[in-house]
Amino acid sequence: MIQRPAGDVIIGRANLGRKATSDDSELDIAPHAHLEGAVTAALKWDNDMTVTHGWSGILGFTQDGNPLVGRIPGHDKSHQWVCGGYHGVGMVKAFRTAQVLAMLVVGEVIPASFPQTMLITDTRLLALEASLKQGPKL
């Protein structure tokens, strides 16, 4: 939650069993209702305060909970790289993973502190593919 200089408040992220859709024009009402209630409770809003904007856009998720960073495997894809799958919190991870991706592209050694679980490897991709075949865990 942040407050802008004019007094507006920006609050975000409520992942309440989001519906799967690729249509960014659809409003997912559950997260919006949750956030509006959370704002009202946290800020003790007066009746004249209202939510003016909301977004429930398309998010990129991976089955193992980690972004995908690196070269896409395959001889016909050796020129393709990816940096994505942030689970709705992209700004927290995007800048550092983009730096690491740039380092990989130019052949530099990435810092040892960078989580290796985010890198694209054949083993990781096989595990992700296998998890899709198993179906959701309830």
Q: Which pTM value belongs to this model?
A: 0.60
**Type of residue numbered 108:** E
Residues 6+ apart with CB under 8 A from 130: none
Residue 76's pLDDT is what?
Answer: 82
The C-alpha atoms of residue 11 and residue 21 are separated, in whole angstroms, by 23
* pLDDT confidence of residue 109: 95
Per residue of the chain (138 residues), what is the pLDDT tens digit?
777 788 777 776 666 655 555 566 766 677 777 777 766 676 666 556 666 776 666 667 788 888 999 998 877 888 899 998 887 666 678 889 999 999 999 999 999 999 999 999 989 999 988 887 876 554
